[in-house]
A and B are shown apart, each in its own frame.
Chain A
């Protein structure tokens, strides 16, 4: 009798932790710094156990100093180390705006390519648990204008681990957005080592009638909506971009040419949340393949309220997507 090997399941949080542990063990130039990342294990427990295993010189607690966290990371990166910096919340990227846009993203270019800036900025994002207007946003699209940095937004434990390992090994700076609402999400993560190349979108579901182009936590709501739509006879394709830079334009064009009906969905507000850029690329590259106007199903454009009751209305639901699927399929 043969048994099928079962792939073990890990949470999104543990998958990130495992990627960090493996890269710390693999390369002595890698170190972690951030607020409460040491023995405490991070505000969300993501770095738990790493301080005990690797010590206080590899996993460093810092003061509340976002400008130092990022600018200091750049200083370490241009002098031979590979820092992984944890911002306690993605929203705090504004506290280090110049350090991210002006230093992390531009140092190499503006100094004639004489340096590399191999650093990763981990940015816990998203509305989850009533963290309030300043601790709940998904600001990844803000970095679209920061040429020089890559933007990674994993949606599953498998992707989270494989993409983080690639990000740490990459010689370019990477902003890595991990959704707080997914830390407990479990998924298959093989025991064996693997990496996922940056800049490759992933078809999370194959379909023929409608494409949902999305990333981050919205991938799961898109999959849920696709499942519901299937019962109604509508075949939905879900393309998880996984990275906004490098952006997999070929994958976007391929799905648009296949279905001709496109919904773009992200948790950030519709204006400036990144979907407009995807729609513009579709207009430039393959507008004649469209059978219906592009629809955007995105977060509403208010600050995220502190109340968890109201917070749930900010992020689009599978039902919102389902209505859009029905609508666009009939167009």
Chain B
């Protein structure tokens, strides 16, 4: 159930994800991290609220769109910064992570397939593992409308449906596969329509509304834990920035982008909390101030890390 406390927590984490990313982009401007970053601004509601509906021992295969899902899955901010900085504070101990390949097994963060859509089949395997081990965990696999078209989706979704695996496929549909609009490469309007073909539940929602995301996700999680099988959850979202930092964005009209930005989930959720009287301006300001301080402290610690030498290359390939 979506309690008032959960609403506050969702807002806090969305604000954290947004602010964390702003801080990362400043590091990028300073030349401290690479431009292979795919900003998640605009996607916070879908990534955060869905993760808040999970337990610590549930699994996440994230996608490259920002880091809100990882942060909401309690991935350490020091590790995240360290991975971007390519130093030994990172989860990969300096392998350098751009945005892919950050992991945290203790919080179920299993990593990411660098080839888009590679996670579709891994997720089905994780679902099978959960079923064979007879736990009530679930696994969530994030991907965009672009990666929704990989053949791996067919193979993963087919077994997930056939064997009623506890997999939740979340497609972050922002309508653009880099520069290619969805309408140009798919005949359908909603990817949720595809779910029926795999015998799984399919639902398409406004992914800019975090409370709706939470409620929808909670249903999918309950279904998965109870043996009811997988869900394909489409969240319709807006990508506020380019596909990557430096993307000229010439393919999208200014009007479309401006209209999308009016739906800012972080701004609108703050207003909702105020309107509903859940918190006062002062309380939310204090919450944000605390988050800002938390981020700065994490960054400060991450910056003390050391970039490893050549010997790091050969570590961890084999057991």
Contacts and interface: CB of A to CB of B under 8 A. Distances in A.
Interface stretch (B153-161, B187-195, B243-251, B268-276): B153-161
A111 B317 contact: no
A78 B121 CA distance: 13
Interface stretch (B46-54, B129-137, B168-176, B282-290): B129-137
A72 interface: yes
Interface in A47-88: 57, 60, 62-63, 65-68, 70-81, 83
Contact of B122 (A60, A74, A112): A74
A31 B128 CA distance: 11
Chain A interface: which size bin? 35 or more
Contacts of B124: 68, 71-72, 75
A77 B110 CA distance: 11
Interface in B117-163: 118, 120-130, 132-133, 139, 151-152, 155-156, 158-159, 162
A72 B122 contact: yes
Contacts of B90: 112
Interface stretch (A5-13, A97-105, A122-130, A250-258): A97-105
B318 A78 contact: no
Given A73-B125, A75-B129, A102 B114 contact: yes
B184 interface: no
A111 B113 CA distance: 10
A67 B155 contact: yes
A157 interface: no
B101 interface: yes
Nearest to A81: B129
Interface in A170-184: 170-172
A35 B56 CA distance: 34
B37 interface: no
Contact of B111 (A72, A111, A172): A111
Interface stretch (B91-99, B201-209, B211-219): B91-99
B95 A103 contact: no
Contacts of A109: 316-317
A7 to B, nearest CB: 33
Contacts of B115: 98, 102
Contact of A108 (B120, B122, B316): B316
A112 B93 contact: yes
Contacts of A99: 118, 121
B129 A112 contact: no
B111 A115 contact: yes
Contact of B125 (A74, A111, A113, A172): A74
Contacts of B133: 79-81
B122 A31 contact: no
Given A63-B159, A113-B316, A114-B105, A75 B114 contact: no
B158 A76 contact: no
Nearest to B150: A67
Contacts of A115: 103, 105, 110-111
Interface string B288-319: 00000000000000000000000000011111
A116 B120 CA distance: 20
Interface in B77-110: 90-93, 95, 100-105, 110
Contact of B128 (A75, A107, A108, A112): A75
B81 to A, nearest CB: 15
A280 interface: no
A147 interface: yes
Nearest to A73: B125
A103 B118 contact: yes
A58 B213 CA distance: 36
A114 B101 CA distance: 10
A171 B113 CA distance: 20
Contacts of A72: 121-122, 124-125, 128, 156, 159
A260 interface: no
A240 to B, nearest CB: 23
B319 A112 contact: no
A102 B113 contact: yes
B11 interface: no
A62 B118 CA distance: 19
B20 interface: no
B15 interface: no
Interface in B11-34: none
B95 A71 contact: no
Nearest to B121: A71
5 contacts: A68-B125, A71-B121, A78-B126, A99-B118, A108-B317
Interface of B: 59, 90-93, 95, 100-105, 110-111, 113-115, 118, 120-130, 132-133, 139, 151-152, 155-156, 158-159, 162, 315-319
Sorted nearest first, the 6 A-B pairs with minimum C-beta distance are A75-B125, A113-B316, A112-B92, A72-B125, A71-B121, A65-B155
